[in-house]
A and B are shown apart, each in its own frame.
Chain A
């Protein structure tokens, strides 16, 4: 049985996409796994190229302009937010919501487009939203 099929156990709010877009799979596997010593390996030209392509990071001014644009698109309506996240978690714990099953308000709709994208958002072009996360993110790691 393939473990990649969409699983929607008990769900509703937690999305369980099957990683199917190239960007998803790249984010999961690229540069991961045991490295075999170079003298043992036979190199495949194409695969090296693909690794390099996936690492392209855009310049920071472009990044800032993207943030600015997103901010300017806002219609300033109040969202239920404003409360710090830890209060959210506390109030949830107090109300004993753990494990409760709700209807699938936001089901797994995005298996084909690759996961966590908003279905109520405008259709951004795939490249701008699904960049491999490893490229420009900070790293903390801890092994047992």
Chain B
């Protein structure tokens, strides 16, 4: 590749390359995977570096650039989700920059060719969906207060007092509520998992920790099951209305199903 320099002096004598290749993901080689007008970080045009049956999707990136911000994260996920909408892609972690195109082939694609190929075959025809389930906070907390007399009593005692008073009682109340919510989350997440996981080829579940968070379900869904899956979620969301809110993001690139953790 041409290692472009952004200083226009001719005296850049050191072997410091000032651009690198930002790697977004690995796709099967072949035409038609990258839309003509697809741009990545810093609006750089997306290019493909092939090696045999696989290819890395990259943009040039300046190495002296300021810290990563929202626009770069958004650009990265836009590139990957666009790739995912037209076929299999193995996302490469945000911020992965390789020296140049040659290094992309010899250090990245070549040594892991078999592994990438296998992963691409597994991911073909599937997409990631992130289902986030939150409690309607008042409803959940009301249940918690109703179910535990100690919590109800502590609540009565601390309610309406200035926030710097009765600190021990407040901490105790919060601790009990936090524990009760944790139990509730665990039980509810199990029930939700039973309803949702039959649609998924693979999954991850993360219980929430904040007051209104129940759980996030990260799901790998076969394309031909997607309609059934979405209908199921719609009816779940309807039946939970007033107690929980279900929010679905996707289809996304399979960020969480590429073997790493």
- A-side residues, CB < 8 A to B, are 1-4, 9-20, 22, 24-26, 28-37, 39-51, 61, 63-72, 74-82, 84-86, 88-89, 91-92, 97-102, 105-106, 115-116, 118, 121, 128-129, 131, 133-134, 136-144
The number of inter-chain residue pairs (CB within 8 angstroms) is 309
B165 interface residue (CB < 8 Å to A):
no
The residues of A that contact B142 with a CB separation of less than 8 Å are 74, 76-79, 81
Tell me the smallest distance from the CB of A43 to a CB of chain B, in Å: 8
Tell me the smallest distance from the CB of A110 to a CB of chain B, in Å: 9
Tell me the smallest distance from the CB of B211 to a CB of chain A, in Å: 5
Secondary structure dominating the interface of A: loop
The residues of A that contact B51 with a CB separation of less than 8 Å are none
Please state if B170 and A65 are interface contacts (CB–CB under 8 Å): yes
B177 interface residue (CB < 8 Å to A):
yes
Please state if B178 and A63 are interface contacts (CB–CB under 8 Å): yes
The residues of B that contact A68 with a CB separation of less than 8 Å are 158, 170-171, 173-174, 177
State A11–B234 Cα separation when bound (angstroms).
7
Residue of A29, A37, A74 with highest tally of chain B CB at under 10 A? A29
Residue of B23, B68, B76, B160 with highest tally of chain A CB at under 10 A? B68
The residues of B that contact A45 with a CB separation of less than 8 Å are 67
Tell me the smallest distance from the CB of A75 to a CB of chain B, in Å: 8
The residues of B that contact A12 with a CB separation of less than 8 Å are 234, 237-238
For B76-99 the 0/1 string (1 means CB < 8 A from A) is 111011101100001111111111
